[in-house]
Structure 1
Amino acid sequence: MSYTIGRLAKLTGLPVKTIRFYSDAGVLPERERTPSGYRLYGDEDRARLELIRTLREIGVDLATIRSLGDRRLRSVLDLHLKAVETQLKSLQRTRAVLRATLARDGDPAEEDLRRLHALGRLGAAEMAILLDEFVDEVGGDIEARHEWLTHMRDCMLPELPEEPTTAQLDAWLELAELLADEDYRDSLRRQSGDFWTEERDYGAWHEINIQVMREALTASQAGIEPGSPESEQVLDRILALMGQSREEALRAFDEHDPRAARLWELVSIIQDTPWPSEPTLAYGWIEATLRRASSTSRVSSTSRVSSTRGTAP
């Protein structure tokens, strides 16, 4: 059955000018005209017009609707759902900031306005892009390092809760600033360059790292104090796994950028998970044991020198 544009308007309840606009915009493709030039529509057009109205009511743009000729409706709705969820999360972040700001007495401070502005332009999508840039730039052309950072990427990209606290929002912003910090990126490249250029296999190193953390955590949880004879035995096993001398391991800790630990602390705040994390506890125990052993060695060496000087002629 064919309908004139006026008849179609009565059947659908849409104004004639709206139907004409949809036809001109290409979302309701023209099928035929009368000899006098009037547009004619069929039942298929009527059904499509109902679909267009529904999609427009939920916010789908005309360009997306126009593409329905080449795409399944399900895929369009799936994309739209993701867009709506992103918008909702952005609104939830804004609501959390506004609530925290209005909970205080007096007018908002400059810091409140800065937080509100920054969060308005830094959603999950923007953070993901920033992290991708971080991984690519720090990973550089060293394949194993790039693989390591790629595996760490998902852990470094926490998701803000639906009702974030002010502390979580501030941690989110600080994390973004840290990931974008060129000095921090350069520091990581310099510190890790030698380690990853030794044709190191990421998978093998990952397994070794798990064993190292297990040794250190077991010792820490057993109450083995850094500097005790028992800790020395554990340290020797750990260094054997790492293939490092005490001097090399201590130098690595000395050169370690503390901002790396801060990054994981920020992730923990956003995720509301316990801090310090197990890796932080494990390597904290190793560092403390190394420093106690180094300090004891220096004291012993100084004592020997003093004793020798005391008996010299």
Structure 2
Amino acid sequence: MFMSHDGLCSIGELAESAGVTVKAVRFYSDNGLLPEAARSAGGHRRYGPDALGRLRLLRSLRALGLPVREVRRVLDEEDAADSVLEDAVAGHLSELGSQLTALRWREAGLRLVLECPPGERADRLRLIGAVTAPPSTAPLARFWRAWLPPRMPARATAAFLEAAVPQPPADPEPEQVLAFARLYAMVTRPCTDAEQGRPEAHKASGAHGPDVLYAGLARAYDLAGTQLRRGRDPYAGEELDSFVDAYASVYGSRDTPAFRRVLAGHLATDPRIDRYWELVAEVITPPGAAPEPTPGSAHDWLFAALDAQTAAEAA
């Protein structure tokens, strides 16, 4: 390529050798990514022998979709080029992952509208139109923060939110998009504290700490979840003992038959958010698969076991 007497080449020769357009070479030069070695007497750009390798690297980096600012970092920081390139590629991969997830949610949303009966399309458009793609779980977290006891420690709150707020699937089916949209609508509609419904145990959790209650319930829910996956009917066992212990620690009581009867009465009158947990199960479970346990379904299983036990003892 460098056949001239001064060992330099023109912009056209460089572009042809690298397989890019003259316009691309000019763009890189104007942005300081491809320095010129000199200008001819007529003002034309001239490039040195190292320009071809640099231009080919530029073309490769841009072909990967890296933005100009990241390409500049890779080229400018020669001493740490490998590290900078690794960081740039990793960051771009993360960004592409988010974009792909957004596209999959939009595709599933479009299929949801296309495949539903015409009379339902307006309602479904309204539902999915309120949700970003990919969807944000922040409104769900805000809903539960308002519902939890006011003095809940940050670590206990974070653990509860991890279990209560479903992570949207990266490649959803239309049914999962619809479930998440309904969940979003449920937690963002105007409602009062009474409608959110706090359980009786929140009123008694001040002395012992709500973190004790929810740490104990998390263990009980995990145990019950195992039985739910096995298809076991509710029964009085280790799972129920752990469940009752969580409440006993809050009420400052021992686990006795009398306490279990009182607890069953409290839980029977507690407000319920069953619809939330039904929708969570639809979001996290692919269509046609067995429903994944949720804290809500685990709570119902444990309460059913407690209610059956106290009823049998009363009889």
TM-score category, normalised to shorter length: 0.5 to 0.7
> TM (normalized to structure 2)?
0.64
1:205 and 1:91 mapped to 2: Cα distance?
37
Identical counterparts, % of pairs:
21
What's the C-alpha RMSD, in Å, of the aligned pairs? 4.7
2:137 and 2:51 mapped to 1: Cα distance?
41
Assess, with a 3 A threshold, how the Cα gap between structure 1 residues 268 and 13 changes in structure 2: closer, same or farther.
same
2:283 and 2:190 mapped to 1: Cα distance?
23
1:198 and 1:296 mapped to 2: Cα distance?
33
Deviates more, 1:1-10 or 1:133-142: 133-142
Match of 1:174 in 2: 182
Map 1:160-239; keep pairs closer than 5 Å: 160=169, 162=171, 164=173, 166-181=174-189, 183=191, 194=203, 197-200=206-209, 202=211, 206-207=215-216, 209-211=218-220, 214=223, 221=232, 239=244
Query: Shift in Å at residue 172 of structure 1?
Result: 1.6
For 1:109, what is the secondary structure of its paired residue?
helix
Match of 2:269 in 1: 254
Query: Shift in Å at residue 217 of structure 1?
Result: 8.7
Query: Shift in Å at residue 4 of structure 1?
Result: 3.9
Contact 1:4 1:40 in 2 (8 A): yes
Match of 2:89 in 1: 77
Deviation string 1:227-252 (CA, Å, 9 cap, x unpaired) is: xxxx6xx9788545531444466335
Match of 2:109 in 1: 97
For 1:72, what is the secondary structure of its paired residue?
helix
Assess, with a 3 A threshold, how the Cα gap between structure 1 residues 93 and 278 changes in structure 2: closer, same or farther.
closer
Contact 1:4 1:38 in 2 (8 A): yes
Match of 1:265 in 2: 278
Assess, with a 3 A threshold, how the Cα gap between structure 1 residues 214 and 60 changes in structure 2: closer, same or farther.
closer
Map 1:294-313; keep pairs closer than 5 Å: none
Match of 1:304 in 2: none
2:126 to 97, 106, 114: 114
2:36 and 2:123 mapped to 1: Cα distance?
58
1:193 and 1:96 mapped to 2: Cα distance?
39
Deviation string 1:166-222 (CA, Å, 9 cap, x unpaired) is: 32111121233344456488976965754654353847852565258758998x947
Structure with more of its chain in helix, by fraction = 1
Assess, with a 3 A threshold, how the Cα gap between structure 1 residues 33 and 169 changes in structure 2: closer, same or farther.
same
Answer yes or no: is 1:11 the counterpart of 2:17.
yes
For 1:198, what is the secondary structure of its paired residue?
coil
Contact 1:168 1:269 in 2 (8 A): yes
Q: Which runs of 5+ in 1 are unaligned?
A: 225-230, 301-313
Assess, with a 3 A threshold, how the Cα gap between structure 1 residues 129 and 40 changes in structure 2: closer, same or farther.
farther
Deviation string 1:250-295 (CA, Å, 9 cap, x unpaired) is: 3355333x33x33332222122264473754553255446667999
Residue identity in the other structure for 1:175: L
Match of 1:54 in 2: 60
Contact 1:33 1:40 in 2 (8 A): yes
2:224 and 2:13 mapped to 1: Cα distance?
80
Match of 1:284 in 2: 300
Assess, with a 3 A threshold, how the Cα gap between structure 1 residues 148 and 167 changes in structure 2: closer, same or farther.
same
Contact 1:127 1:176 in 2 (8 A): no
> TM (normalized to structure 1)?
0.65
Q: Which runs of 5+ in 2 are unaligned?
A: 1-6, 78-82, 252-258
Contact 1:175 1:263 in 2 (8 A): yes
1:78 and 1:168 mapped to 2: Cα distance?
29
Q: How many residue pairs get matched? A: 283
Query: Shift in Å at residue 41 of structure 1?
Result: 3.6
